[in-house]
Amino acid sequence: FRGTSPSKLIQQEWDDFFAKNGPDAVLLQYCHSQGAIHVRNALIDYPEELRKRIIVVAIAPAAYISPDICREVHHYVSSRDFVPYFDVRGRAECKDTIHYLKADKNAGIWDHSFNSPTYESIIQEHFEKYKQL
């Protein structure tokens, strides 16, 4: 059981979303850095029929999320960020879901921020695709 306080809060948000949006709703969940750990833990302990309706976009993840525990997952890693390399096993297991991006010229030396220009278009692109569902 991985029911940490952050993962329980995430699950409560998901419960509210699915209760308000009906049985066919799909949720787009962004997460960043340590947030990917919390989202992964929340997914592990969440009902399968609901987690299969969650799309995850993980920016600069501190841990990787298996595509087996959600509808789909996309991990994004900047060329100037070391944090996503800590989870060696997860990176190997999720290699088909990882997108390596060249750091934007205006990004910081350590390109780890969710607000980095490296990730702006990717975040928007996933939102536009989600609106089409």
pLDDT in tens, 48-105: 999 999 999 999 999 999 999 999 999 999 999 999 999 999 999 999 999 999 999 9
Q: Which residues contact 74 (CB under 8 A, 6 or more apart)?
A: 56, 57, 58, 97, 99, 126
What pTM does this model have?
A: 0.95
Proportion of the chain above pLDDT 70, given as a percent: 98
Q: Check whether 2 has a pLDDT greater than 80.
A: no
Which residues, 6 or more positions from 84, have their beta carbon under 8 angstroms from its beta carbon?
60, 61, 62, 75, 77, 91, 98
Find how far residue 48's CA is from the centre of its chain.
Answer: 17
Residue 30 token pair? 């962004």
Whole-angstrom Cα distance, residue 45 to residue 69?
Answer: 10
Structure-block tokens of residue 39: 């989202």
Residue 1: pLDDT above 70?
no
* Residues facing 101 on adjacent strands: 78
At 58 the three-state DSSP class reads strand
